[in-house]
Amino acid sequence: MPSSTRIMAPQIKKTEKLPVYEPNIPEPTSREELLNYWLNISLDERSANKLLWLTEGGAKVSRMTDEVCPYLDRPERFDHSPQVLCKESVWASRCYWEVLYSGWVVIGAAYEAAGRKAGDGPCGLGENEESWGLGWAGSCYDAWHKGINSRVADVPQCCTIGVYVDQPAGLLCFYTVETEEDSKKKEVKLLHRFKNPIKEKILPGFWVGRQSSCLILKKEE
C-alpha cells in the first residue's frame, strides 16, 4: 500500500463509562453477553464523503442519489471513498454495536489515523491493513482486511449486523442479529472473526453504495 498521509482526528470527549477491562475472560457467545459492552456511537459529519447524507441526529447515513452534500472540505473527510466514520473510538476496552442496513454497504472499523485522501492508497473499509469490513455480496457475505476477502458461505442475508471489538485481545467479530422463532428474543450468529493485533484506536465506519443506507441502532431498554 502506498505510504499514507496519516491524520490525527480531534479527541472526542467521552460521555459514557464502559466496563473496566478485565483480561482473560471468555469471549461472549450470546447477544445477552454482548449487550454488556454496548457502545453508543454516532456518525462524524467531519469524515463523511460528500455523496453521503447524515440524518436522524447522526444515526443514519444514506446515499440515494449522486447529489453532493454541501460539506466543507476538511482533512478528516474521505475524498473519494463513499465512507463515514463515527466520533467514538475503541481503545483498551470491549465494545459492541448494531446496525440496520439496506442495499450495498460495508460495515466495519478503521484506525483513527488511517488515510482518507486520494494519495493515501485504497481507503475503503477492509481494502488496507488499517481497516476491517463486512458486506453482503449478493449471494453471501464477504469479510475484508488488507485487501483480502474471506467468503462467508451458507448464511442467508440479515438486515441487522452486530459488531464486537476487543481491542487488547485483537478481536473484531461480525454477527447477524435475528429474532428466534421459539423464544421471540433476538440472538446473534457469528459471521466472521478477525484475530490480529489492533495497535491503535479504531472507529466504527460505513461504506455506502448507491440506493443504500445504514442506521445505527439504539440499545433496547
Q: Which residue has the cell 488496507?
A: 128
pLDDT digits (tens, 9 = 90+) for 137-188: 999 999 999 999 999 999 999 999 999 999 999 999 999 999 988 878 999 9
- Does pLDDT of 221 surpass 90? no
Q: What is the pLDDT of residue 36?
A: 95
User: What domains appear along the chain, each with residue ranges and CATH number?
Assistant: 31-216 (2.60.120.920)
Q: What is the pTM of this model?
A: 0.90
**What average pLDDT does range 82-109 have in this prediction?**
98
Is the separation of the CB atoms in 197 and 170 below 8 Å?
Answer: yes
Q: What is the pLDDT of residue 188?
A: 98
Q: Strand 202-208 and strand 83-85: pairing?
A: antiparallel
CA gap 51, 70 in Å, rounded: 9
Q: What is the pLDDT of residue 1?
A: 34
- The x, y and z cell numbers of residue 41, run together, are 456511537
C-alpha separations of 71 from 121, 131, 201 in Å: 23, 24, 25
